[in-house]
Structure 1
Amino acid sequence: MVPSQPLVRAAMFALAVLQTLASDTFIAAVYEHAVILPRTAHKTVSSDDALALMNRNMDILEGAVKEAAQQGARIIVTPEDGIYGWLFTREAIYPYLEDIPDPEVNWIPCTDPTRFAPAPVQERLSCMARNNSIYVVANIGDKKSCNSSDPSCPSDGRYQYNTNVVFDSEGKLVARYHKYNLFMSEGQFDYPKEPEAITFETPFGKFGIFTCFDILFWDPAVVLVSKLQVDTVLFPTAWMNVLPFLTAVEFHSAWAMGMGVNLLSANTHNTSISMTGSGIYAPDGARAYYYNMKTEDGHLLIAELDSHPHLSSASPPAVSWSSYASSVEGCLPDDDDFSGFIFHDRYTFTELTKPEGNLTIHQKDLHCHLSYKMAEKREDEIYVLGAFNGLHVVEGQYYLQICTLLKCRSTDLSTCGQPVETAQTKFDMFSLSGTFGTNYVFPEVLYSGVQLAPGEFEVLNDGRLISKTGTTKPVVTVTLFGRWYEKD
């Protein structure tokens, strides 16, 4: 059958509209939310009381959604646990859960709220998106009934999942992701049987989504980028900062750079448990970020990103991580090398005793090389070059290869590796490299006050992490954080 002229014209018009809507850049938003918590997370409340608490949090989130949309944002990410909090028992979280359908059902809760079981939270989130013409990303709890025909069915007859949802600018549910790598304190939730690699297309790129602890593992985080080629990752999180390598802004910006994607990271804000640090990260550095331990208020971030960063001129070239370090002449262990612990892992350290120089340290077959020049060698601060090559087993199990330049807590070498937030020493230059056995290496530069250094460093294609100019602020750490997933 030959299509009629009106049909052809309509198709051409639709294509023109799509091409117009497709954009090379887009404005993104993340909201760091100070969650209103239940009085006790261990006490079971009525569904009305649970909804009342969730509505108080959604009142605040809705204000952020409206403000983001008014500033031109096409998508906003809100935090993990941002609607009801954390540390629930399995029973106590149940009144907060809703049955979240597979997005294939093609559902707009805002306009059709009674199609499935009551879902007031999904309805409200959908209306936030629809009424403000913006994609809304939120984290809520999903419940799925099961019975004895399923040998894995929990004894209470239901699965409970830590779940991300995405509603498009019409309010339609377009993505649902069940968190795969639960953190140790999440006993209220079940593990999904298989990791879910969830993606969806927009006029401003292909998106993937995962949650918090997922970022440290292969599934689904690396799969989304390396195999499914997403442009931007959506990342609700409730991240407790751990110095020197795992503060939120530091590690999440490094992950975006190492993976070559955009990352929209929305953290909860609770300074009593070191939760702060959100950002809009591109492969070439942070476009906007927020870290603040001095307030209990939430904060909205807005920034512009490339829709397809791997096609952008700013996209970093492929890196051969061990190329340079393998060409540096190795050295035998020095009598001045010593051991110390970082987050329960035993590192090998050597002190930077001179204002400038070249140093090599190794642990097993990982050799770390540093060239450096301090702006001034202070008597009251000590820096070391450190190496770790092994399986980390505390609060999760994952294989690390790490080369790091870091400031010690005091002039006592036994404090090297302990958390440090501030420093006074600036560097005129640094160049850090290592003989990594993995291609997944995340470059971190952290300045005094837990501040990032966007635009002040780069990774060369031979694997060197180098300063572009002298550091504008004192250095806490410069680190190459390698993850060898196959050895987990």
Structure 2
Amino acid sequence: MSDGLCDTHTVIQVALGSLTSVLEMAAFLTNIFFFFYILSVYKVLTMDTYIAAVYEHAVVLPDATETPVTPAEALKMMNRNIDILEKAIKTAAEQNASIIVTPEDGIYGWRFTRAALFPYLEDIPDPAVEWNPCTDPQRFGPAPVQERLSCLARINSIYVAANIGDKKPCKPGDTMCPADGHYQYNTNVVFDDEGKLVARYHKYSLFQGEVQFDTPKEPELMTFNTPFGKFGTFTCFDILFHDPAVALVVDLSVDTVLFPTAWMNVLPHLTAIEFHSAWAMGMGVNVLSANTHNTTNRMTGSGIYAPDYPRAYYYNADMEDGHLVLAEVLSHPRHSPSYSVVQWSEYATSISGYSTNSSEFVRPIFFDNFTLKALEKPEGNQTTCQKNLCCHLSYSMVEKREDEVYALGAFDGMHEVEGEYYLQICTLLKCKSTHLDTCGEPVETSSTLFQSFSLSGTFGTSFVFPEVLLTGIKLAPGDFEISPDGRLVSRSSISSTPLLSATLFGRWYDKDPPAKNNASTNNYSNDMLILTIYAAIQSLIFYVANL
């Protein structure tokens, strides 16, 4: 009997041991399943690439007036523009875009005094309040524009970035309060694919005092996270300064910048597609740039720019219609094997410079006096210096034409026209005519083909933006590369299309003057006048040259 009990006990122990093993195995398999489930969910929620969209919008402008309209009239005008943006948003969503950016001033335009703008403004809360205007529109008072944008994002399951106006009453004791008792801000907003407000950014670098807006007391570093990377946003003129633009990349490591703009093109170095794509390459991030379309003010040029090359862009100074641009980009471009940090002065400082018989001459380019040398031979080496910057060029033309002249230029100094900022620029450019005194004047077409070129400079800054512009104001994706030692080097495909310019555009932020608060300045009309006159001179020169 006792032996039987012992046998039974042993069987029970074995059975329990087996059950324990089975349970342990089940737990192990459950953990494995859970791990792969979480991994699969993570992969769904984190995307290696995404489709981006930008819309270049021909804004429906209100009549210019100094007398404020009623809020109802202002909303009616804004809805005319949002009706157009709605079609672009729906089309982008239908093509699987995850995010769309619309332009600065894209909902009401720019023809305003401070008082006349007020009916167009809404109170935009801090995104930290966790607000969805589509589902809770009255939480912060009337906000019909935010409600509609939020619902467009929610209905179409797409992130929507737009530029509108924010109003904020002054706090008691605010000694900087404007005379009308409130602040008005040029503001970017972003709504996620459920309609939630995830970003609000007040433009810091106003165009030297856009009179209808106030400057925030400090630059705002606004970021938000998505399943397809970390995003930041700033507006138009901000891109030329360190804060917030550079700080978002260097300090906060954003992957993509959302960039609403109303950019007036200035040749040869500051057309929208040229500079914005160069900034993306120089900073190693995606830039989703949506420009206002207004040919009278030379506003055109939108694109989806990646660090290696522009994915898609649009530039059209002949038509008045808007245009939607879509392209696929990497969610984390700095993680790409093709991305590398560039030592911009390494090559240029390693050589002694090229000695030539060409004489130097000085010509203004967008009001900055460049030191230039003409390229007198079909191939060769050239060095041009100004102050501490020496620019080195090695080049070979397919054919040296008698009707076109190119020059190598250098500028090392403070730009002081529509703003104050320190530049170091090396540029190879086509002159307007065969007369050297036209070098630096805007030119849109060329016929000279280059077999190859290599441009470098002894830059004192690590912030350099490489530009290559082809005839007809076209970019050159795939036609050049940046070497780790700081050379802008053409590829063999460059010989298929005539060159307008190749430029290394350096910004030395440490040499900029102290930032000024522009809230009380009134220079916007003066700056617009300067650029309008400059644009008129460009047009006159182009007209006379083609008589």
TM-score range, shorter chain: over 0.9
Determine the structure 2 residue equivalent to 1:439. Answer: 462
- 2:540 matched to which residue of 1? none
Residues 162 and 189, structure 2, Cα contact 8 Å, conserved in 1:
yes
Aligned pairs (5 A) from 1:60-79: 60-79=84-103
2:189 equivalent in structure 1: 165
Tell me which residue corresponds to 2:166.
142
Alignment of 1:320-359 (within 5 A): 320-330=343-353, 336-359=359-382
What are the Cα deviations for residues 11-35 of structure 1, in whole angstroms up to 9, with x where unaligned? 9966742431211000000000000
Match of 2:275 among 251, 260, 275: 251
Structure 1 residue corresponding to 2:401, chosen from 344, 353, 378: 378
Tell me how far apart the structure 2 counterparts of residues 10 and 95 of structure 1 sit (CA, whole Å).
54
Structure 2 equivalent of residue 270 of structure 1: 294
> What amino acid does structure 1 have at the position aligned with 2:56?
E
Count of matched residue positions in the alignment of Structure 1 and Structure 2: 482
1:72 shift after superposition = 0.4
Asked if the contact 2:358/2:373 (under 8 Å) is kept, the reply is: no
Q: Which runs of 5+ in 1 are unaligned?
A: 1-5
Task: Report deviation, 1:38.
Answer: 0.3
Give yes or no for contact 1:87–1:185 (8 Å, CA) kept in 2: no
Rounded to whole Å, the distance in 2 between the matches of 1:185 and 1:229 is: 30
Q: 2:134 aligns with which of 92, 104, 110?
A: 110
- Pairing 1:283–2:328 present: no
**What residue identity is the alignment partner of 1:374?**
M
Aligned partners of 2:209, 2:316: CA distance in 1, in Å? 24
Q: Which amino acid aligns with 1:211?
A: T
**Cα distance change on mapping 1:9 and 1:107 into 2, 3 Å:** farther
**Secondary structure of the structure 1 residue equivalent to 2:347:** helix
How many angstroms apart in 2 are the aligned matches of 1:43 and 1:268? 25
Does the CA contact (< 8 Å) of 2:356 and 2:382 recur in 1? no
Q: Which residue of structure 2 lines up, in the alignment, with residue 428 of structure 1?
A: 451
Are the structure 2 counterparts of residues 339 and 168 from structure 1 closer, same or farther at C-alpha, using a change threshold of 3 Å? same
- In structure 1, give the amino acid aligned to 2:451: D
**1:429–1:470: 8 Å Cα contact kept in structure 2?**
no
Question: Given the superposition, is the C-alpha separation of residues 96 and 11 from structure 1 closer, same or farther in structure 2, using an over 3 Å criterion?
Answer: farther
Q: Which residue of 2 aligns with 1:174?
A: 198
CA distance in 2, matches of 1:422, 1:335: 25
- Secondary structure of the 1:92 match is helix
Is the Cα contact below 8 Å between 2:354 and 2:381 reproduced in 1?
no
The 1:141–1:11 alpha-carbon spacing in structure 2 relative to 1, beyond 3 Å, is farther
AA matched with 1:204: F
Counting aligned pairs with the same residue, the percent is: 67
In 2, distance between residues paired with 1:395 and 1:71? 39
Establish whether residue 43 from structure 1 lines up as the match of residue 67 from structure 2.
yes
Change (3 A) 1:345 1:333: farther
2:81 to 57, 62, 77: 57
Cα deviation, residue 335, structure 1: 6.6
* 2:26 alignment partner in structure 1: none
Aligned to 2:323: 299
Higher helix share: 2
Contact kept, 8 Å, 1:392 with 1:399, in 2: the verdict is yes
Deviation readout 1:231-260 (Å, 9 max, x if unpaired): 000000000000000000000000000000
Partner of 1:3: none
1:333/1:361 contact within 8 Å kept = no
Q: Is the 8 A contact 2:358 2:376 kept in 1?
A: no
Distance 1:41 1:25 in 2: 46
* Deviation, structure 1 residue 314: 2.8
What is the Cα-based RMSD across aligned positions, in Å? 1.7
- The answer as to whether partners of 2:313 and 2:325 remain within 8 angstroms in 1 is yes
Conserved? CA contact 1:80–1:267, under 8 Å: yes
In the TM superposition, residue 42 of structure 1 has moved relative to its aligned partner by 3.2
**1:334 to partner: Cα distance:** 5.9
Distance 1:134 1:470, change over 3 A: closer
Cα deviation, residue 331, structure 1 = 5.8
User: TM-score, normalized by length of structure 2?
Assistant: 0.86
Given the alignment, which residue of 237, 242, 246 partners 1:222?
246
SS in 2 for 1:253: helix
Aligned equivalent of 1:318, options 315, 335, 341: 341
Q: d(CA) in 1 for partners of 2:280 and 2:354?
A: 33
Amino acid at match of 2:388: D
SS at match of 1:159: strand
CA distance, structure 2, for counterparts of residue 57 and residue 29 of structure 1: 18
**Which stretch shows the higher mean deviation, 177-186 or 391-400?**
177-186
Deviations 1:431-478 (A, max 9, x none): 000000000000000001110000110000111100011422111100
| Bigger Cα displacement from structure 2, 425-434 vs 319-328 | 319-328
Q: Deviations over 1:132-161 (max 9, x none)?
A: 000000000000001451111111000000
Distance in 2, matches of 1:226 and 1:334, equals 43
d(CA) in 1 for partners of 2:205 and 2:419? 9
2:480 paired with 1:452: no
- 8 Å contact from structure 1 (residues 427, 470) kept in 2: no
Q: 1:68 & 1:185 partners in 2: Cα distance?
A: 34
User: Which residue of 1 is the match for residue 5 of structure 2?
Assistant: none
Aligned counterpart in structure 2 of residue 26 of structure 1, from 47, 50, 70: 50
Distance 1:49 1:18 in 2: 47
CA distance in 2, matches of 1:333, 1:145: 64
Residue 427 of structure 2 contacts residue 501 of structure 2 at CA under 8 Å; is this kept in 1?
Answer: yes
Q: Structure 2: how far apart are the matches of 1:186 and 1:11?
A: 54
- CA distance in structure 2 between the aligned counterparts of 1:155 and 1:9, rounded to whole angstroms: 65
CA distance in 2, matches of 1:284, 1:401: 22
Partners of 1:377 and 1:267 in 2: CA distance: 37
Counterpart residue number, 2:422? 399
Counterpart residue identity of residue 55, structure 1? N
What is the DSSP-based 3-state SS (H/G/I as helix, E as strand, rest coil) of the residue aligned with 1:152?
coil
Question: Counterpart of 1:160 in 2: which secondary structure?
Answer: strand
> Which of 200, 216, 224 is equivalent to 1:200?
224
**CA distance in 2: counterparts of 1:251 and 1:87, whole angstroms:** 26
CA distance in 2, matches of 1:239, 1:10: 51
Q: Report the counterpart of residue 442 of structure 2 in structure 1.
A: 419
Could you tell me which runs of 5 or more consecutive residues in structure 2 were left unpaired when the two chains were aligned. 1-29, 513-547
- Do 1:426 and 1:470's aligned partners in 2 also have CA atoms closer than 8 Å? no
Residue from 92, 114, 117 that aligns with 1:93: 117
* Distance in structure 2 (CA, Å) of the matches to 1:15 and 1:140: 39
SS of residue matched to 1:257: helix
CA deviation profile, 1:353-403 (whole Å, cap 9, x unmatched): 000000001001100000000111111100000000000010000000000
| Cα distance in 1, alignment partners of residues 42 and 362 from structure 2 | 59
Contact preservation (8 Å) 1:29, 1:302:
yes
